[in-house]
Structure 1
Amino acid sequence: MISGTNEPCIILGIHGLENKPPLDEKTRWWKAAIAEGLTRNCGWSDGEIPFEFIYWADLRYEKPVVAEENDEPYHPDDGSGPFPRHDPADIAPVSTLMGYVYEGLDRLQTKTGVTPVDDIILKTRFDDLWHYHSETEFARNVRGRLCERIKALSGRRILLAAHSMGSIIAYDALRSLERDAPSVKVAHFVTLGSPLGLAEVKLKIAAEHGACRTPNNVAHWTNLTDKRDVATVTGALGEDYVPNDHGVHVTDIAVMNEYRRLSGEPNHHKSYGYLRTPEFSEITLNFVPSAVADLLV
Structure 2
Amino acid sequence: MMKLAINYSSAADGLARDGLLPVDLFKCPSPFDTDVSVHMPDLLERARGTRPVYVHFPLFAGNGSLRDVDWDGIESVLAETATPYVNLHLETRSADFPGVPVDTTDPAHQEQIAEALIADVALAVARLGAERVIVENVVARGSVLRPCIEPGVIARVVEETRCGLLLDTAHVRLTAEELGFDARAYIAALPLRQLRELHVTGAQPHEGGRLRDSMPMGAQDWDLLEYVLAKIQGGRAAEPWCMALEYGGVGPGFDWRSDPQIIAEQTSRLRRFVKT
TM-score class, shorter-chain normalisation, is 0.3 to 0.5
Higher relative contact order (CA 8 A, sep 6+): 1
Structure-2-length-normalised TM-score? 0.40
Considering fraction of residues, name the structure with more strand.
Answer: 2
Structure-1-length-normalised TM-score? 0.38
